[in-house]
């Protein structure tokens, strides 16, 4: 990708904060912030890929010192433009390798963003990096959807996700590499639009078992799963999807 900000460069950053999106609604944000504040206790919180501060900002406003790591300067500029945005320190860099001063009682990586590390090596490096930032007993919280691979009939490698308004989203899978791609096509177009996606983004889906293994080897083992349609720590989900 040519843009140093990656997929989340200026065009995406400009429209990222969509208050009508369910992941920006209080029902999605508040339980996540409450869980993270509880886990942070009297310590600091490290948000990997903090973006425009959807979670980091309200967490900071609850009195938890928050530091972010973020690849995209365009996203950080949006964070800085919000009230309270200046109270959050941000280090620009790749969350798999970027070091930050001090230690944290909780680190978190939400909204499926683990998948933006598109190889298992990068994901393992990220877990190692987090482990080096955590206090003993500290938590690493991951919120991610798990692809519905069981819905794939034999021989099929693509699943539809959502049609409209505005666009059609589908995902194609490569079982050998564990990578999947999001395909985004305008839904106003005729159905043939699906064969000529306007955007295509590769991501990597580590299996839940792999993720738990990585967390254990990093000295931390709590997963709160959620993501697309199932926000982190929603009361309905939290009890049966938290793994120690």
Ligand X SMILES: C[S@@+](CC[C@H](N)C(=O)[O-])C[C@H]1O[C@@H](n2cnc3c(N)ncnc32)[C@H](O)[C@@H]1O
Binding site for ligand X (CB under 6 A): 6, 8, 49-51, 54-55, 69-72, 75, 94-96, 110-111, 113, 116-117
- What is the rounded distance in angstroms from the CA atom of residue 116 to the CA atom of residue 12? 15
Cα(166)–Cα(48) distance, rounded to whole angstroms?
Answer: 30
Considering the complex, state which of residue 75 and residue 124 has its C-beta at the smaller distance from ligand X.
75
Angstrom distance (rounded) from CA 163 to CA 240: 29
Q: CB 154 → ligand X: shortest distance, Å? A: 32
Q: Residue 47: which of 7, 80, 101, 91 has the closest Cα?
A: 91
Cβ at position 189, least distance to ligand X in Å: 25
Distance from C-alpha of 5 to C-alpha of 10, rounded to nearest angstrom: 8
For 149, residues 6+ apart whose C-beta sits below 8 A from its C-beta are: 173, 175
66 vs 69 by CB, closer to ligand X = 69
Q: For residues 59 and 134, which CB has a smaller minimum distance to ligand X in the complex?
A: 59
Minimum separation from the CB atom of position 23 to ligand X (A): 7
Q: How far is the CB of 116 from ligand X (least distance, A)?
A: 4
Minimum separation from the CB atom of position 172 to ligand X (A): 19
Give whichever of 23 and 134 is closer to ligand X, judged by the CB atom. 23
Secondary structure of residue 88 in the 3-state scheme? coil
Shorter beta-carbon distance to ligand X: residue 189 or 200: 200
Which of left, alpha, beta for 180 (phi over 0: left; psi -120 to 50: alpha)? beta
Using CB positions, name the residue nearest to ligand X.
Answer: 51
């Amino acid at each position: 990708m040519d843009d140093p900000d990656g997929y989340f460069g200026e065009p995406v950053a400009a429209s990222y904060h969509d208050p009508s999106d369910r992941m920006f609604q209080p029902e999605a944000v508040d339980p996540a912030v409450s869980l993270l504040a509880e886990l942070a206790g009297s310590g600091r919180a490290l948000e990997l890929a903090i973006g425009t501060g959807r979670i980091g900002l309200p967490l900071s406003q609850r009195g938890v010192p928050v530091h972010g790591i973020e690849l995209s300067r365009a996203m950080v500029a949006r964070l800085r433009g919000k009230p309270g945005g200046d109270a959050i320190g941000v280090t620009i860099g790749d969350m798999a390798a970027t070091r930050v001063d001090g230690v944290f009682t909780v680190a978190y990586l939400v909204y499926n963003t683990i998948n933006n590390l598109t190889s298992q090596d990068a994901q393992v490096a990220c877990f190692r990096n987090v482990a080096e930032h955590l206090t003993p007993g500290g938590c690493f919280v991951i919120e991610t959807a798990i692809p519905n691979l069981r819905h794939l009939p034999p021989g099929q490698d693509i699943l539809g996700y959502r049609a409209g308004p505005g666009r059609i989203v589908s995902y194609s899978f490569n079982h050998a590499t564990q990578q999947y791609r999001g395909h985004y096509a305008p839904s106003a177009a005729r159905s043939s639009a699906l064969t000529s996606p306007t955007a295509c983004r590769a991501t990597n889906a580590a299996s839940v078992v792999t993720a738990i293994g990585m967390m254990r080897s990093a000295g931390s083992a709590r997963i709160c799963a959620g993501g697309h349609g199932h926000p982190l720590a929603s009361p309905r989900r939290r009890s049966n999807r938290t793994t120690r």
